[in-house]
Amino acid sequence: MNAVYKILGLPAELLCKVPGIGPIVKVCCTSVGQKILMALTGLSLCGFLVAHLGGNLNLFAGKDAFNGYAEKLHSLGPLLAVAEVGLFATFLLHIGLAVSTTAMSRAARKNEYEKKATKQSGFILPNGGASNLMLVTGLIVFAYLVVHILDMKLNVRGFPGASEIPGEGDKFEHVRAVLLDFKTAVFYAVCMLALGIHLSHGVRSACQSLGISHPRWNKLISIGGVLFAWLIAAGFTSIVVWPWAVVPH
């Protein structure tokens, strides 16, 4: 396994050796620099999740409200395109950094710890379980994103309601049709659980990487992170359940 992580860490190592690359990139090649970047990208993605959940909650207000929201979003035109490129770049950077920091720390640590210990308390998962599951839950959320974009933006499975022209069509019907597909709904629900676990450790870990840490406040930061994580996960899950619970079919 260490060999795999060593290979995965090669791009970062090679990047560090490129001459004239500048101090910022060099700092980003260190594990501390990468942790800081990972925290910043992770917290930015949390901001996106809040905005995305807020927008999607319009589904509960009905067809006109949700389609009105989708229309407004798409009326931003090039501004939306720029935001989307920024969003995807942030996702890719966050994922790349996760692989790279894991690779670096595994390569630096020749042997596995004989016994893993953590002082972090777990929520739902005992012994700080969420922290041990960051890579696996991150990969589940990534798989979710791929399926989600293929369905919601590109509509590769041909769900009704979507249109070839961005911003056109009946977005409300489209989202409802996707979520009424049983296998998709189960997959979404499982992925929201993974998202909750990922964020429940991710938020407090990001605060720590950014130096937001004080013995007096750490407990509060932990509780706040866990609360935020499960509010986001529960909010999205409520949307997954919504077409099954509310709309007769």
Which residues of this protein are in contact with ligand HEM, per CB under 6 A?
49, 52, 56, 84, 87, 141, 145, 148-149, 152-153, 175, 188, 195, 236, 239-240
Q: Tell the burial category of 178 from Cβ atoms under 10 Å away from its Cβ (0-12, 13-18, 19+).
A: buried
Contact 184, 178 (CB under 8 A): yes
Nearest distance, CB of residue 175 and ligand HEM, angstroms: 5
Of 155, 137, 40, 131, residue with least CA distance to 89? 40
Nearer to ligand HEM, 134 or 145 (CB): 145
Nearest distance, CB of residue 158 and ligand HEM, angstroms: 16
Nearest distance, CB of residue 81 and ligand HEM, angstroms: 9
User: How many Å from the N-terminal Cα to the C-terminal Cα in the chain?
Assistant: 49
Q: How is residue 38 written in tokens?
A: 């990972």
Of 86, 81, 93, residue with least CA distance to 41? 93
Q: How is residue 89 written in tokens?
A: 């770049």
Nearest distance, CB of residue 107 and ligand HEM, angstroms: 29
CA distance 97 to 12: 9
Nearer to ligand HEM, 24 or 146 (CB): 146
Nearer to ligand HEM, 8 or 239 (CB): 239
Nearest distance, CB of residue 228 and ligand HEM, angstroms: 14
Nearer to ligand HEM, 28 or 192 (CB): 192
Of 92, 5, 63, 95, residue with least CA distance to 243? 63
Q: Exposure pattern of 130-152 as b/e (b: 16+ CB <10 Å)?
A: bbebbeebbebbbebeebbeebe
Helices (H), 113-217: 129-132, 134-152, 171-179, 182-209
Nearest distance, CB of residue 190 and ligand HEM, angstroms: 12
Nearer to ligand HEM, 16 or 149 (CB): 149
Nearer to ligand HEM, 56 or 222 (CB): 56
Nearest distance, CB of residue 87 and ligand HEM, angstroms: 6
* 66 to 12, 29, 55, 150, 170: CA distances (angstroms): 43, 43, 8, 20, 10
Q: How is residue 232 written in tokens?
A: 């986001």
Determine the residue with CB nearest ligand HEM. Answer: 152
Nearer to ligand HEM, 9 or 41 (CB): 41
